């Protein structure tokens, strides 16, 4: 087993961060991807199986009760019938699709983006800051972003194969570089 370290570096807005990753880090990145995939798949599957998921009550009541800074937006969404109908389908099936994408490592960055977006909405809706601004919803949002940033779908996932699929004699990600934002 190799124990060599890998150096990573990134510069954003003139600030550079650098660190060394141990090669065992790949297993923890995989574990994060699989954990979030299973959690979201199970949550969505349970909602679909129960057949009783409804977002209106949550949207209209939970954010105001939690003193969310965007409570009025949530209430407005909860009072808009077509939007509630959309959310009633998008949340459970979105959780299933996000979970499946992460579990098999396909379209991982796309799945992680939507997972992070959902967790941001849950964070704002479940606004509970009596113990600080960081809660489970916020932490899960960061886990989704880490899964995307590390290209976790390339680790024992289908994205490593999808990226190399040849289109016109070139690997997909070379022919269409924008696909790197969806895969990985």
CA count, 13 A, side-chain hemisphere, 51: 0
Q: Which residue has the tokens 């990226």?
A: 163
pLDDT digits (tens, 9 = 90+) for 32-66: 999 999 999 999 999 999 998 999 999 999 999 99
Question: Structure pTM?
Answer: 0.89
**Across the chain, what does the average pLDDT equal?**
93
CB 137 within 8 A of CB 126: yes
Distance CA 91, CA 121 (A): 11
Q: Where are the alpha helices (DSSP H) in the chain?
A: 25-50, 56-65, 71-78, 81-104, 108-125, 136-149, 159-164, 172-175
pLDDT digits (tens, 9 = 90+) for 87-101: 999 999 999 999 999
Q: According to the model, what pLDDT value does residue 3 have?
A: 58
Distance CA 144, CA 36 (A): 7
Q: What region does 101 belong to: left with phi over 0, alpha with psi -120 to 50, or beta?
A: alpha
Distance CA 116, CA 44 (A): 15
pLDDT digits (tens, 9 = 90+) for 147-174: 999 999 999 999 999 999 999 999 999 9
Q: Which residue has the tokens 């964070």?
A: 123
Residue 21 has φ and ψ, to the nearest 5°, of -105, 135
């Amino acid at each position: 087993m190799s124990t060599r370290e890998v150096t990573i570096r990134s510069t954003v807005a003139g600030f550079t961060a650098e660190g060394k990753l141990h090669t065992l880090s790949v297993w923890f990145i995989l574990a994060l991807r699989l954990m979030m995939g299973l959690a979201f798949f199970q949550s969505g599957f349970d909602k679909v199986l129960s057949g009783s998921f409804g977002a209106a009550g949550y949207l209209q009541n939970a954010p105001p009760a939690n003193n969310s800074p965007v409570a009025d937006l949530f209430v407005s969404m909860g009072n808009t019938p077509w939007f509630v109908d959309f959310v009633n389908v998008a949340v459970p099936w979105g959780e299933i699709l996000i979970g499946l994408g992460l579990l098999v490592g396909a379209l991982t960055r796309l799945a992680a983006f939507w997972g992070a977006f959902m967790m941001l909405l849950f964070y704002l809706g479940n606004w509970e800051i009596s113990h600080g601004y960081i809660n489970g919803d916020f932490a899960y949002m960061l886990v989704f972003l880490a899964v995307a940033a590390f290209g976790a779908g390339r680790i024992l996932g289908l994205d490593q194969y999808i990226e190399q699929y040849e289109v016109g004699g070139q690997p997909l990600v070379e022919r269409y570089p924008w696909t790197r934002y969806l895969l990985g």
